[in-house]
Amino acid sequence: GIEAHFSPDFSLPIQLEEVTDSTNTLARQAANHVQEATAFMAYSQRAGVGRLNRPWQSPMGKSLSLSLLLPDFPKDLPVYLLSQITAASLCQSLDPYLDNLGIKWPNDLIANQRKIAGILPIFDQDETGRSYVILGIGLNLFQDLEDFPKDLQDKAGSLKMAVGFEIDIDQLLAKLIEDLVRAIQAFKDRQDGQAFLAICREKSLLIGKEVLSYEGDKPARQVKVLDIASNGGLKVKDLKSGQEEVLLSSEISIRTQ
């Protein structure tokens, strides 16, 4: 199971629930009265969400649902950069266990062509106008293929599927949260962002590829991915116009057919 025993030298209040609708909701409810960074975790979510309100599967005891509430977050820090820093930090924590871990911009962690984790950062304001961030992370731990709904069975995976040996999950989660809080602190202090972006570049599954970019309701277009930009966006070249630009919110499909 994912009974978590966190290292005593590391103090971050953690509220752990057996089951909840969404840890993001727990964090949002707490945002008005909680003053310090707090982690909300659950063994299972009834209504986990991804971007654009897409459902996120978090079956009982098989996955980690984590929402970090970060109060008093500077308003001018770009949310897409926070996504990248989070992805880089998760990569650092998971790398010792996985040979071929990659990042699919903007927020997917992929192992063996299967999505094992998703990231959802939300900037919001409390009742007094102070801005906060909720950093939602869903990590698949113990699922087997048949634990995923049919439509995800060719693209979702878990640590268990990717690693092939027993993991000390308590140790992993403690490390993961510790790395993450450190990364976020560095981001908040405006240090070290470029070091994390270097990891995003190194682990990028998109750089150098010709892919399809979906932006809102606009028709998909073919672009070549050039780089992860220093603001966390995706630097691409439009294959039709030849023009270079930085995408900030877009869905990327690696399949170009």
Contact pattern for ligand BT5 over residues 19 through 58, marking x by CB under 6 A: ---xxx--------------------x--xxxx--x-xxx
What is the biggest distance separating any 2 CA atoms in the chain, rounded to whole angstroms?
56
By CB atoms closer than 10 A (0-12, 13-18, 19+), residue 88 is: buried
In the bound complex, what is the minimum distance in angstroms from residue 240's beta carbon to ligand BT5? 26
Segment near ligand BT5 (CB under 6 A); pick from 16-24, 81-89, 96-104, 234-242: 16-24
Closest among 257, 254, 256, 246 to 113, alpha carbons compared = 254
* β-sheet with 251-253: strand ranges across: 244-247, 234-238, 221-228, 210-214, 251-253
By CB atoms closer than 10 A (0-12, 13-18, 19+), residue 116 is: buried
Contact pattern for ligand BT5 over residues 189 through 228, marking x by CB under 6 A: ----------------------------------------
Segment near ligand BT5 (CB under 6 A); pick from 17-25, 73-81, 125-133, 175-183: 17-25
Nearer to ligand BT5, 7 or 153 (CB): 153
What is the distance between the alpha carbons of residues 128 and 126, in angstroms, rounded to a whole number?
Answer: 5
Give the count of residues interacting with ligand BT5 (CB under 6 A). 27
In the bound complex, what is the minimum distance in angstroms from residue 218's beta carbon to ligand BT5? 18
* β-sheet with 38-45: strand ranges across: 14-20, 38-45, 63-70, 131-140, 114-125, 108-111, 101-104
Is 86 near ligand BT5 (CB under 6 A)?
A: no
In the bound complex, what is the minimum distance in angstroms from residue 139's beta carbon to ligand BT5? 8
Nearer to ligand BT5, 81 or 156 (CB): 156
Binding to ligand BT5, residues 134-193 (CB under 6 A): 136-138, 140, 152, 156
Nearer to ligand BT5, 25 or 237 (CB): 25
What is the distance between the alpha carbons of residues 155 and 172, in angstroms, rounded to a whole number?
Answer: 24
Q: How many CB atoms lie within 10 A of CB 167?
A: 17
Closest among 65, 62, 83, 64 to 25, alpha carbons compared = 65
Which residues make up the interface to ligand BT5 (CB under 6 A)? Answer: 22-24, 45, 48-51, 54, 56-58, 63, 65-67, 107, 115, 118-120, 136-138, 140, 152, 156
